[in-house]
A and B are shown apart, each in its own frame.
Chain A
Amino acid sequence: MATEPLERARQEFLAALTEAGCDPARVEAVRVRFAGRRSGLLRELEDALKALPREAKPGYGKALNELKTLVEERLAAAQRAAEDAGIQRQVLDVTLPGRRPVTGALHPVTLVRREIEEIFLRMGYSVADGPEVEDDWHNFGALNMPPDHPARDTQDTFFLKDGLLLRTHTSPVQIRSMETMPLPIRLIIPGRVYRRDSDLRHSPMFHQVEGLVVGEGITFGNLKATLEAFVHVLFDPRLAVRFRPSFFPFTEPSAEVDITCVLCLGAGCGMCSGSGWIEILGAGMVDPRVLSACKLDPERVSGFAFGCGLDRVALLKYRLPDLRLLFSGDERLLRQFEGVAR
């Protein structure tokens, strides 16, 4: 058909105009290309009319006129739109700060606590709590630390009246849970604890999280697998987890658990004192004396327990330099963690 070039020109024009958008310079470029007086495409198509055979001329001429009208109208509209946009741009400054609703920020320790809780909730653990003011039995006695036990020295205790004290660890909640809950027990126990100690790495009030699993046939291998899964989800699946024999009065056998340094991935750096390892958890099989203290039969049931400092995990995860910053209530610090998923 003779009008084929016209149809092609129409499509090219519409495409070019769409692409030019509201940019005045690009709209002008489209105008010159298609409707330019000297060398525009319309001019060329007009010239082509002369060379056509007579019988083709009327059809071609009509289609050419329709194309001209379309080009004029669409160009005019595009020029107007480009002009309006220009004016609008002068009025609206999109770089002005927005009238933003204030967003809240959870404390870094709350963030890591929830992250840890979620990991264990998904594995079927419940989250337990207990009193912060405790008695001697739940904080020490039932945990195989009778009066005058040397291990009490390492847990400098704040005492209140009448033999009460501020709990030095979240372990009394283990005792309270074993005293009252049906087996099997799977618990995660976060909470606030207190020790008479204050320096760069110690705060008299801090936070722990402990885990407790008690039931029939619980093994040391179960403990290892659980802590490996935990560390890999919380930090990084590439981290190695190392169990070293250790001693706690309430577990037997006991272990200190190290992970590959999260900062240098084992190469050695300032955070891990060049060792490539970071000590992060204490763990072990629940001591039979503790099970007996809770009226459970160590011949029938066994269990494992582990614990770590929540504040320390927050320090590691968010690279905070000083534990005491966590208790400063400084909004400049607290609001740095607004964007952390919770």
Chain B
Amino acid sequence: MKLSLAWLRDHLEGAPSADELAKRLTACGMNVEVREPAGPDEIWDVDVTTNRPDAMNHRGLAREAVAAACGTLKPLAINITEGATPVGTLARLTVEDAQGCPRYCARVVRGVKVGPSPAWLVERLQRCGVRPINNVVDATNCVLLDVGHPLHAFDLAFLKGQEIRVRRAHAGEPITTLDGVERKLTADDLVIADASRAVAVAGVMGAANSEIAPSTKDVLIESAYFDARSVRLTARRLGLKTEASHRFERGADRAMARTAVDLAAELIVRLAGGEVAAGVLDSNPDLPAPHEIPFSLSRLSAFVGCEIPRELTLRVLTALELAPRIVGDAVTCTVPTHRVDLELAEDLYEEVLRHFGYENVPSVLPSAAMKPGARLGTWPLTERGRDALTAVGAAEAFTYAFVSEEIEAATAGSPLADRGAVVALDNPLSARMAVMRRSLLAGLAEAAGGNLRRGAERVLLGEVGRVFFEKGGKVAEEERLAVAVAGAVGPWDALRQADFLDLKGVVEAVLAELGVSGTAWRHATAPVLAAGEQAEVVRDGCVIAIAGRLADAVSTVFDIPATLWVAEIDLTAAVAAASVPTFEPLPRFPAVTADLTVRHKLTLPYDQLVAAITAAAPEWLEAVSPVVRYRGEGVASDEVKTTVRLTYRHGERSLTQDEVNAAHFALMDRLGRELAVSFS
């Protein structure tokens, strides 16, 4: 909020220097953010928190300054001279909706001469960021900035029937507001109307049909107290935020409605001449019984954590006009009408504490029974996933959880993503962020594509995050891990591009890091991946991961300029299968190894070859491990030469070379017969 320092000082007796005033206001929570010289005056920008509408004006802020030991508050002087004509003979007031408008005050000033405001007022308004209009309107704005109560001035001649009716609008009722926009109202909107039409949207903005014009002679000043919620709903629905609505939404001062109308009438006569009619139209002069808050001084100190002096407590509460009464340890405060934020004892603790000074509270660490902390919920799972990603060399990426419908649909074709309906945002920022992802590939493939388009020679990205599904009207969240691999494999291997086995190796290593074993890889048909170049990883009959080359159609959606290998792991399902290893005795006897080169059809999968070798070998075959695969010259185009290393080791004794040779040759004989393979 912008305000004038000179104006603030007008309300204070014995105020300190500007520096001191700014310092003390900031310390008590009225943060003076900007100070800008303006001649002999200064323009201050003060950040008043939204719960303090009472301080969004010069007098309200001066009250805070008093509580912050910056002098005393001058009394508000009202010198109003009324004419003989009773206001009731000039205008009538009916409030049809007392809930939306608990109080409506109005005065009439007759015989004004509308013109420009004097220089002092123009300057003050401008310093506060308000555009001067004419002396009558400026007078209402001046009172708003002075004491914080929003007012409106009508040309009485344009109020048909010289009447004010506060009522709900008719559905579809039109009104052209002062900003020149024609708006349609609903039956929920509160309006100020004359005998035949709406002349203002209550608490938001007046209508053009009754505004103060150069020809205006008689003025009706409105000073009402509207229901905060009603104003807020209307202002939000109309998309109209004004100085008035801003204050009414946060809570206006019901008692001030009367004071403000007097201040405005007096100022209008001073600036534009004319005569104030006798009396005030006031729909409801009675104020509700004030709210009382009791609290105990000892509890206040216990809450803060140090002794708060009794004198300071009383001084602050008195300065804030809370009328503290004290009996022993018990204090009772009466909440004035302008403090809409005060309800509970803790609200008063804050009032005292912020003037005591947060910096004066000694810092003491809390004491509690010593108990080790732990990661709860899904954190152990996701943290393990992140560690697995870095263990395999991936860079961890964060991508947006919402994507375009097109991207979502393109990446949803997999058994992991197909677990529920897509969750759409009601009010997305853009079409690019319209729906929640069901697969991490939605963001990760895009990120990988970005790296490749920037000329990256290799990509190894990973992400751990949530995906979202709608199932039976509820939204389910699942934790996932994904990787993307592309480009050159490593230093001194720049010519070799990543292939399926590079991806598979990454996935195997991640699963090993997650403690998952006993998985099987089998061909899969997920549309998100290229046909024939993909697999699913199965454990106990459950698909825990998919891996393969991103399908060309999907790659096109992301504009990915190179082959991209991707995998996604269902973290929850994978880690459910994890087990803690237990010690296995180390071998006591030496091993004998023998390499075996098998020439076979491409259609024979490696796992079947190994299964056949294992079946044909003696039980002391310990391991079969890959050495090299060769295709090319000397090998038919539908064949491959696979070399594996067989490790023989007996658990009870040393093996002789002769018995190993015999077993190895017998194995080759049997393989040759059973699999129709050769060994050259």
| Chain A interfacial positions (CB closer than 8 Å to B) | 97-107, 109-110, 117, 120-133, 148, 150-151, 154, 158-162, 164, 166, 184, 186, 188, 192, 194, 196, 198, 204-205, 213, 215, 217-222, 224-226, 228-229, 242-247, 249, 252-255, 285, 287-289, 298, 302, 326-332, 334-335, 342
Per-position binary interface string of chain B over residues 481-521, scored 1 when its CB falls under 8 Å from any chain A CB and 0 otherwise: 00000000011100000000000000000000000000000
- In the complex, chain A residues whose CB is within 8 Å of the CB of B345: 288
**Out of A99, A126, A226, which one reaches B490, CB within 8 Å?**
A99
Q: For the complex, give the distance between the alpha carbons of A148 and B234 in Å.
A: 11
Interfacial chain B residues near A106, Cβ < 8 Å = 386, 390, 396
Given the contacts A106-B390, A302-B303, A327-B400, A161 and B344 also touching, CB distance less than 8 Å = no
The contact of A220 among B233, B249, B353, by CB within 8 Å, is B353
Interchain CA distance A186-B370 in the complex, whole Å: 11
| Bound CA span A298–B295, Å | 13
- Contacting residue for B401 out of A97, A192, A288, CB 8 A: A192
| B657 in contact (CB, < 8 A) | no
Return the contact of B364 from the options A117, A164, A225 (Cβ within 8 A): A225
What residue in chain B is nearest A329 (Cβ atoms)? Answer: B447
Q: Does B350 contact A (CB under 8 A)?
A: yes
- Which chain A residues border B349 with CB–CB below 8 Å? 252-253
Bound together, the chains give a CA A185 to CA B42 distance in angstroms of 48
List, in ascending order, chain B residues with CB within 8 A of A125's CB. 373
In chain B, positions 193-240 with a C-beta closer than 8 Å to chain A are 229, 232-233
With contacts A186-B373, A245-B358, A331-B456 taken as known, whether A220 is within 8 angstroms of B304 at the C-beta atoms is yes
Question: Quick check: B389 and A104 within 8 Å, CB to CB?
Answer: yes
Measured between C-beta atoms, what is the minimum distance from B435 to chain A in Å?
A: 10
Across the two chains, which residue of chain B brings its CB closest to A151?
Answer: B50
CB atoms of A329 and B397 under 8 A apart: yes
User: 8 Å CB contacts to A: which residues of B584-627?
Assistant: none
Measured CA separation A201–B278 after assembly (Å) = 57
User: Smallest CB-CB separation from A164: which chain B residue?
Assistant: B475
Smallest Cβ-Cβ distance to B241: which chain A residue:
A153
Q: Are A124 and B477 in contact (CB under 8 A)?
A: no
Q: For B27, list chain A residues within 8 Å (CB).
A: 244-245
Which of B366, B376, B423 is within 8 Å of A127, CB to CB? B376
Tell whether, in the assembled complex, residue A103 and residue B397 are in contact, meaning their CB atoms are under 8 Å apart. Answer: no
Q: Smallest distance from the beta carbon of B479 to chain A beta carbons, Å?
A: 10
| A229 in contact with B401 given A132-B477, A133-B475, A247-B50 (CB within 8 Å) | no
* Chain A residues near B386 (CB-CB < 8 A): 106, 110
Known: A124-B370, A129-B377, A132-B466. A330 touches B450 (CB 8 A): yes
Residues of chain B contacted by A98 (CB below 8 angstroms): 491
Contact residues, B648-664 vs A (CB, 8 A)? none
Q: Contacts A103-B390, A106-B396, A329-B447: A124 and B429 contacting too (C-beta < 8 A)?
A: no
For B1-32 the 0/1 string (1 means CB < 8 A from A) is: 00000000000000000000000001111010
Q: Closest Cβ of chain A: how far from B438's Cβ, in Å?
A: 13
- Measured CA separation A328–B397 after assembly (Å): 8
B332 to chain A, nearest CB (A): 17
Partner of A150, one of B50, B397, B424, B492: B50
Take A126-B374, A222-B366 as given contacts and tell me if A242 and B359 are in contact as well, using a CB distance cutoff of 8 Å: yes
User: B38 at interface (Cβ–Cβ under 8 A)?
Assistant: no
- Cα–Cα, bound, A120→B50 (Å): 32
Contact sample, A vs B, 11 pairs, CB 8 Å cutoff: A104-B389, A105-B395, A105-B396, A161-B426, A192-B465, A247-B51, A328-B450, A329-B397, A329-B448, A331-B395, A334-B395
Question: B400 contacts which chain A residues (CB < 8 A)?
Answer: 204-205, 327
Q: How far is the CA of A150 from the CA of B95 in the complex (A)?
A: 26
Q: Are B373 and A121 in contact (CB under 8 A)?
A: yes
Q: Are B456 and A102 in contact (CB under 8 A)?
A: no
Interface string of B420-445 (1 = CB under 8 A from A): 00011111110001001000000110
CB distance from A330 to the nearest CB of B (A): 7
**Which 7 pairs of residues, A with B, have the shortest CB-CB distance?**
A329-B447, A245-B29, A104-B390, A102-B393, A221-B305, A219-B305, A247-B49
Judge if B347 is at the interface, Cβ distance under 8 Å: yes
* B250 close to A (CB within 8 Å): yes
CA of A168 to CA of B564, assembled, Å: 34
Q: Does A133 contact B376, Cβ atoms closer than 8 Å?
A: no
CB distance from A206 to the nearest CB of B (A): 10
Does B391 sit at the interface, judged by CB under 8 A?
Answer: yes
Q: In the complex the two chains form, what is the Cα distance from A110 to B379 in whole Å?
A: 12
A246 touches B368 (CB 8 A): no
Contact A331 B459, CB 8 Å, known A104-B391, A159-B425: yes
Partner of A198, one of B364, B399, B429, B462: B429
Q: Judge whether A104 and B395 touch: CB under 8 Å.
A: yes
Identify the closest chain B residue to A225 (Cβ). Answer: B363
> Would A126 and B373 be within 8 Å (CB), given that A110-B396, A224-B361, A244-B26 are in contact?
yes
The residue in A126, A128, A215 that gathers the most chain B C-beta atoms within 10 A of its C-beta is A126
Which residues of chain B come closer than 8 Å to A128, judged between CB atoms?
A: 376-377, 379
Q: Which of chain A's residues have a CB closer than 8 A to the CB of B361?
A: 220-221, 224
Task: Give Cα A298 to B50, complex, Å.
Answer: 24
B350: A residues at CB distance < 8 A: 245, 252-254
- With both chains docked as a complex, state the minimum distance between the C-beta of A220 and any C-beta of chain B, in angstroms: 5
Answer yes or no: B327 CB below 8 A from chain A CBs. no
- The reply to whether A329 and B365 contact each other, CB–CB distance below 8 Å, is no
Partner of A288 from the list B346, B399, B426 (CB cut-off 8 Å) is B346
Q: Contact: A229 with B366, CB < 8 Å?
A: no
Interface string of B546-590 (1 = CB under 8 A from A): 000000000000000000000000000000000000000000000
A174 to chain B, nearest CB (A): 14
A254 cross-chain contacts in B, Cβ below 8 A:
350
Q: Once the chains are docked, how many angstroms separate the CA of A98 from the CA of B374?
A: 40
Asked if B451 is at the interface of the complex by the 8 Å CB criterion, the answer is: yes
Which A residues are CB-close (under 8 A) to B26? 244
B229 and A148: CB pair below 8 A? yes
Which of A120, A129, A242 sits near B373, CB closer than 8 Å?
Answer: A120
- Residues 377-429 (chain B) with a chain A CB within 8 angstroms: 377-379, 386, 389-402, 423-429
In whole angstroms, what is the CA distance A334 to B396 when docked? 7
Asked if A129 contacts B376 (CB within 8 A), the reply is yes
Q: A104-B392, A331-B456 are in contact. List 5 more A-B contacts (CB 8 A).
A: A97-B491, A102-B393, A102-B460, A160-B423, A215-B366
